[in-house]
Structure 1
Amino acid sequence: MNIHVTDAAKQALQQAFDANPGKKAQLRYDAEGCGCAVSGVPTIWLAEELTGQCEQLETNGIPLYIQSSQKVFFDDQMTIDYNEKAKTLALKSPAEMLSPRMSILVK
C-alpha cells in the first residue's frame, strides 16, 4: 500500500505533529458509532501508542501506520490531499474519493 501525501497535506499533518509531540499517525477505518463495521470513516489518529498489529505504510515522507486487518478497506494506491476550503484532509484513490473530509483525531 502506497500513499502519496501532497505538499499541502504534509503541511497540515506537520502542524498536527508539532502540536502533539511524540504521537504517531495511524490511518484508521473508524467504525465506532457507525452501526456497522463496513460503514466506517477513514480517519487519521494521532496517538502515543499504535492500536492493533500495525505496519508502516509507504509514503513520500510522512510516517504513517495502519492496522494490518484494516488494509482491506483501502486501495493500494492513495493520495492524501488538503482541502483548503473545508480546512481538512481528503483521501482519494485513482478509482474514487474515499473521504473528502478526513479528520485528524488526537487520542
Structure 2
Amino acid sequence: MSVNITFTEAAKQTLTPIVAKSGRQLKLNYDTDGCGCLVDGVPALWLVDKADEDDVVVETNFVPVLVERPRLIFFDEEMTIDIKPGTTVFQLKSPRQILNGHMPLVEVTAGHER
C-alpha cells in the first residue's frame, strides 16, 4: 500500500522553521502506547533524528515523511496534514475521515520513543 501526504500552506509555514532549525525528520507514527492492542492507536507527528530500519520514506509537497512500513495499513491512501487554526496542534485528515484532529508535534530523542 502506498500513501500520499499533502501539507497545507498553514502547516508548511508552521513546520518550516522547526524542521530547518532542528535538522530532524518528520515521522507519521501510529502510536499504540497505552491503547491496549496494536490495532488501537492514534496517528502522531514526530520529529526524529533518523529513520528506523522498518521506516519507508513518503515524498510529500513539503519534506519527505517517514512512516513505519508495518503501520501503513492503518492510514488512508490520501491524507492531508493541516494545523488547527489559532494553535500549534496539527490535524491529519483524509477525504473519508479525520484520523487525528488534535495531533501535537512530538520531539522524540534516540532511545526514548513515546
TM-score by length of 2: 0.84
Higher fraction of strand: 1
Task: Tell me the residue number matched to 1:59.
Answer: 60
Counterpart contact for 1:90–1:102, Cα < 8 Å:
yes
Counterpart contact for 1:83–1:90, Cα < 8 Å:
yes
SS of the residue corresponding to residue 66 of structure 1 reads strand
Task: Tell me the residue number matched to 2:111.
Answer: none
Alpha-carbon RMSD across the aligned residues, in angstroms, is 1.4
Structure 1: gaps of 5 or more residues: none
Structure 2: gaps of 5 or more residues: 109-114
The residue identity in structure 1 corresponding to 2:62 is G
Counterpart contact for 1:5–1:62, Cα < 8 Å:
no
Match status 1:101 vs 2:114: no
Tell me, in whole angstroms, the C-alpha distance in 2 between the residues paired with 1:99 and 1:47: 20
Q: Report % sequence identity.
A: 36
* CA displacement at 1:19 relative to structure 2: 4.1
TM-score by length of 1: 0.89
Post-superposition Cα deviations, 1:25-57, rounded to whole Å, max 9, x if no partner, equal: 111000112222122111111111222411111
* CA displacement at 1:100 relative to structure 2: 0.6
Task: Tell me the residue number matched to 1:83.
Answer: 84
Tell me, in whole angstroms, the C-alpha distance in 2 between the residues paired with 1:35 and 1:52: 25
SS of the residue corresponding to residue 27 of structure 1 reads strand
Aligned residues: 106
